[in-house]
């Protein structure tokens, strides 16, 4: 498949500089479909999700964003790194880009941002996809990812680390993926990451998910222990219309572990199936 990458750009929205990468564009069949905003996780600048943007861009006008305090978006000692501010960024970005119809696809922290943004957004937001969201929060078990893993790897990245040094943190990743993480991890502001990690345990994701009134899809990893079967049951009990797909042979970083299974999990939920799917991959769907 030829590249669908168009350009990277900045926009002033919600009072800060927000950086994004655009894939696909709004020409041809994509013009009739909602745009897609991809919101990465806690230490994932937009460029590390570029391979996902490439695939989405073949079917949708796609924007992969740098969450505040990551990548090339604004960061500072005085910036609010709370969930409400992150969600307001997404809604303001969509408005600044003039998107009349769009969907949110959030991974991990990005899924929690997407769920909160859905409570703030206007009618332009049509659907939300929540990819392996941390279900930790008040009165619930801790997030399984441990804080030193993030802090230690970011400290090494700020000093300068190569792909081989990053392998100790991400042993299953390819050389190319490790090089990209080693290159860009230093752009993740530690203050932003600490605030988001704390929010994993103080913000109530289940309460946000229970208020979703637009079409929503939950995509979870078979491995990784982030979203267990009982968590899915709780979420679907609170939001019966929430669709769910469990992706086999994948840990928390689903598209890294099973890209074909990840793309297949969307089906036609966004209005059209994603172009790159492996026919041999099947996913268990519960509605």
Could you read off the pLDDT of 70-117 as tens digits, one per residue? 999 999 999 999 999 999 999 999 999 999 999 999 999 999 999 999
Angle at 73 (CA atoms; ends 252, 182), nearest 5 degrees: 50
How far is residue 147's CA from residue 236's CA, in Å, rounded to a whole number? Answer: 29
Radius of gyration of the chain, Cα coordinates, nearest whole angstrom: 17
Burial 185-194 (b: 16+ CB within 10 A, else e): bbbbbeebbe
State the pLDDT confidence band at 1, using cuts at 50, 70 and 90. low
CB atoms within 10 A of CB 287: 10
Mean pLDDT within 14-24: 98
Q: Where are the domains of the chain?
A: 5-149+203-286
What is the spatial order of strands in the sheet that 62-65 belongs to?
5-13, 16-23, 62-65, 35-39, 102-107, 125-131, 216-221, 243-247, 284-286
Mean pLDDT within 17-34: 98
User: How far is C-alpha 229 from the chain's CA centre?
Assistant: 21
Mean pLDDT within 145-172: 97
pLDDT of residue 138 exceeding 90: yes
State the pLDDT confidence band at 275, using cuts at 50, 70 and 90. confident
pLDDT of residue 184 exceeding 60: yes
Distances (CA, A) of 204 to 112, 198, 208, 232: 9, 12, 7, 15
182: left (phi over 0), alpha (psi -120 to 50) or beta: alpha
Rounded to 10 deg, the angle between the 190-202 and 83-96 helix axes is: 110
Mean pLDDT within 239-248: 96
Q: Which CATH number fits domain 5-149+203-286: 3.40.50.1820, 2.40.70.10, 3.40.50.2000, 1.10.357.10?
A: 3.40.50.1820
The proportion of the chain whose per-residue pLDDT surpasses 70, expressed as a percent, equals 95
State the pLDDT confidence band at 284, using cuts at 50, 70 and 90. very low
Per the prediction, the chain carries an average pLDDT of 95
How far is residue 113's CA from residue 107's CA, in Å, rounded to a whole number? Answer: 9
Predicted pLDDT at 93 = 98
């Amino acid at each position: 498949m030829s590249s669908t990458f168009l350009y990277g750009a900045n926009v002033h929205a919600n009072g800060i500089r927000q950086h994004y990468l655009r894939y696909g564009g709004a020409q041809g069949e994509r013009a009739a479909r909602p745009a897609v905003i991809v919101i990465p996780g806690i230490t994932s600048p937009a460029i590390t999700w570029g391979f996902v943007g490439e695939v989405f861009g073949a079917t949708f006008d796609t924007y992969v964003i740098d969450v505040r305090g990551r990548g090339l978006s604004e960061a500072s000692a005085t910036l609010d790194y709370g969930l409400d501010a992150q969600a307001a960024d997404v809604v303001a970005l969509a408005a600044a880009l003039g998107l009349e119809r769009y969907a949110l696809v959030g991974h991990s922290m990005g899924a929690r941002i997407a769920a909160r943004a859905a409570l703030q957004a206007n009618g332009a937001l049509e659907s939300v996809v929540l990819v392996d969201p941390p279900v930790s929060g008040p009165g619930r078990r801790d997030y399984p990812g441990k804080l030193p893993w993030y802090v230690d790897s970011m400290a090494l990245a700020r000093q300068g680390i190569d792909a081989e040094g990053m392998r100790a943190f991400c042993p299953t990743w390819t050389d190319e993926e490790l090089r990209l993480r080693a290159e860009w991890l230093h752009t993740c502001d530690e203050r932003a990451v600490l605030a988001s990690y704390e929010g994993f345990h103080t913000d109530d994701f289940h309460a946000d998910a229970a208020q979703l009134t637009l079409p929503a899809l939950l995509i979870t990893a078979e491995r990784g222990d982030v979203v267990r079967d009982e968590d899915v049951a709780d979420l679907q009990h609170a939001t019966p219309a929430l669709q769910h797909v469990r992706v086999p042979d994948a840990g928390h970083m689903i598209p890294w572990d099973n890209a074909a299974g990840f793309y297949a999990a969307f089906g036609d939920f966004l209005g059209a199936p994603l172009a790159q799917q492996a026919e041999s991959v099947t996913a268990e769907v519960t509605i």
